[in-house]
Amino acid sequence: MVAPFPRESIHSHCQAVHTTNAVVMVPPIDFKFNTETSADNEFQTSLSLSDSQVREKALAEFNQMVELLRSHGVTVTVMDYAKSKAETPDAVFPNNWFSTSPSGDIYLFPMACENRRREVRSHALSEALKSSGFKTPTFHEIGNLTSPQAYLESTGVMIMDHSNSTVYAALSVRCDRQLLQEYVDLAGFREVIYFDTKMSSGSPVYHTNVMMAVGEGFAVICDEIIEEFERRRVLTSLQKTKDVISITEEQMGYFCGNVLQLKNEKGERLIAMSLSAYNAFTLEQKSVLRRHGKLVPIDVSTIETIGGGSVRCMIAENYLPK
- The span from the CA of 311 to the CA of 57, in Å, is 15
pLDDT score for 54: 83
182: in domain: yes
pLDDT score for 218: 98
pLDDT score for 88: 79
CATH number, domain of 163, equals: 3.75.10.10
Please count the structural domains in the chain.
Answer: 1
72: in domain: yes
76: in domain: yes
187: in domain: yes
322: in domain: no
Please list the pLDDT of the chain residue by residue as tens digits (322 residues). Answer: 544 333 344 444 444 789 999 999 999 988 755 454 544 445 445 566 677 888 889 999 999 999 999 999 999 999 987 766 678 778 999 999 999 999 899 999 999 988 889 999 999 999 999 999 999 999 999 999 999 999 999 999 999 999 999 999 999 999 999 999 999 999 999 999 999 999 999 999 989 999 999 999 999 999 999 998 899 999 999 999 999 999 999 999 999 999 999 999 999 999 999 999 999 999 999 999 999 999 999 999 999 988 888 999 999 999 999 9
Distance of CA 241 to the CA centre of its chain: 21
Distance of CA 22 to the CA centre of its chain: 14
Q: Which domain holds residue 20?
A: 2-317
Burial of 72 (0-12, 13-18, 19+ CB in 10 A): middle
Contacts by residues 39-42 (CB-CB < 8 Å, ≥ 24 positions apart):
40/112, 40/172, 40/173, 40/174, 40/203, 40/206, 41/206, 41/207, 41/308, 42/199, 42/201, 42/203, 42/206, 42/308
pLDDT score for 48: 64
pLDDT score for 86: 76
45: in domain: yes
Check: CB of residue 93 under 8 Å from CB of residue 29: no
The conformation of residue 181, written as its DSSP 8-state character, comes to: H
